Amino acid sequence: VAPAYGIPVLVHSDHCAKKLLPWFDGMLEADEAYFKAHGEPLFSSHMLDLSEEPDEENIEICKKYLTRMAPMKQILEMEIGITGGVEDGVDNSGAAKEKLYSTPQDVFAVYQGLNPISPMFTIAAAFGNVHGVYKAGNVVLKPELLADMQAYAREQIKASTGKDIERPLNFVFHGGSGSEKHHITTALNAGVVKMNVDTDTQWAYWEGLL
């Protein structure tokens, strides 16, 4: 597809929970074999969703896999904090509201764990986002929190290394369907490099069949 249209195309695997790590191992084994033969992996990026696990365990497992992925220049997407709603059989619709918001400290701990291995990772931080589309008022999206996370990481990095990096974190916006334009703009300005839109896309397909 990429050569035919002159555009970059990324092949990405999504939402791998802890119980599915054997599948993740299988994908990486296939990537490594293909990379050895062709100089590039089958997948451009993989996502580990270990947000249901304790943060320390989440980060340690991500470190293990990023170490394998780094030589192939693959991107690891990880999730810290809970995205509400339901997706891929994981139901977080009843999660406590405070769990829907990551803290700057949570996110910087990810940076500290992964950046020494490779800079090629993204963080799906929680800022009130949910999977699916909900009635107005049911979801309180706070993308401005991402800017706070960037500022905290910038301060910590400058204090420890002397380097002043304006936006050291690369974020992923989960549950993007139904988001208002000003929220999307705020998220992009705060370092979001990927936005997941599923429900809106499915609805567009469905409308085409009506």
Please provide the DSSP assignment of the chain as one string.
Answer: -HHHHTS----EEEEE-GGGHHHHHHHHHHHHHHHHHHSS-S-SEEEE--TTS-HHHHHHHHHHHHHHHGGGTPEEEEEES--EEEETTEE-TT--GGGGB--HHHHHHHHHHHTTT-S-EEEEE-BS-EES---TTS----THHHHHHHHHHHHHHHHHH----S----EEE-S-TT--HHHHHHHHHTTEEEE---HHHHHHHHHHH-
- Does the structure show a pLDDT above 70 at 6? yes
Report pLDDT digits (tens) over 107-129: 999 999 999 999 999 999 999 88
Is residue 14 among the annotated active site residues? yes
Report pLDDT digits (tens) over 121-170: 999 999 988 755 544 445 578 999 999 999 999 999 999 999 999 999 99
Name beta bridge partners: 46: 13, 76
What's the pLDDT band for 97 if we cut at 50, 70, 90? low
Task: Find the range with the poorest average confidence among 1-15, 50-64, 74-88.
Answer: 74-88
Cα angle at 61 between 58 and 62, to 5 degrees? 85
The catalytic position among 14, 55, 148, 198 is 14
Report pLDDT digits (tens) over 172-198: 998 777 788 999 999 999 999 999 887
